[in-house]
Amino acid sequence: MDTPRESKSSKRIKAEYSELKLRPHNGIHAGPTDERNVYEWSVNINGPPGTAYEGAALPGILTFPMEYPLLPPKVRLVGQVFHPNVAPDGTVEIPILHVTGDDPSRHDSAQERWSPVQSVEKILLAIRGMFVHPFEENIVNPQADELLKADKDKFEETVKRSVSMVAAL
């Protein structure tokens, strides 16, 4: 129920949540951790079939800034998920989570970055997609990236160990 003081950002977040409930995606579950706070969501992404992440349920937290949708949310996976685009603290680094504009330190294109026309649905799909095809421009775990390029079998073994530890949490 909208109140006169409800912010535009919370209205947008609620609308996106309603849309996700109406049109759920297989292998992706997301929603507010607490219905009274729409700015923090729990997410659960199932590892895509045919990948080392297959069968894993990867939990995370999606945190919206008060300036949403002008600024993108932040996504952090819970546990030690071994992936080139996942930092040791679980922070996910993919183009859609980067602010638009020219940033010479970023190698992704402006079209791939966040803009207010993007949505939570697109973010979650992009995260699930990164488990199939890591984003080369956004490596935050060089060890995972190097192992993936040098020895895919050993990379997959390491991934399976990391996701089994996540499942034990």
Q: What is the CATH number of the domain that holds 17?
A: 3.10.110.10
pLDDT of residue 72: 97
- Indicate the pTM of the whole model: 0.89
The reply to whether 113 falls in a domain is yes
CA atoms of 23 and 5, how far apart (whole Å) = 29
The reply to whether 40 falls in a domain is yes
3 state SS for the chain? CCCCCCCHHHHHHHHHHHHHHHCCECCEEEEEEECCEEEEEEEEEEECCCCCCECCEEEEEEECCCCCCCCCCEEEECCCCCCCCECCCCEECCHHHCECCCCCCCCCCHHHCECCCCCHHHHHHHHHHHCCCCCHHHCCCHHHHHHHHHCHHHHHHHHHHHHHHHHCC
pLDDT of residue 107: 63
The reply to whether 37 falls in a domain is yes
The reply to whether 137 falls in a domain is yes
Residue type, 114: W
The reply to whether 2 falls in a domain is no
pLDDT of residue 60: 97
* Domain around 57: 8-167
Per-residue pLDDT of the chain (169 residues; tens, 9 = 90+): 455 578 999 999 999 999 999 999 999 999 999 989 999 999 999 999 999 999 999 999 999 999 999 999 999 999 889 999 999 999 999 999 998 665 555 566 677 889 999 999 999 999 999 999 999 989 999 999 999 999 999 999 999 998 887 766 6
Select from 162, 149, 167 the least CA-distant residue to 86. Answer: 162
As for how many domains the chain has, the answer is 1
The reply to whether 1 falls in a domain is no
The reply to whether 85 falls in a domain is yes
pLDDT of residue 88: 94
The reply to whether 79 falls in a domain is yes
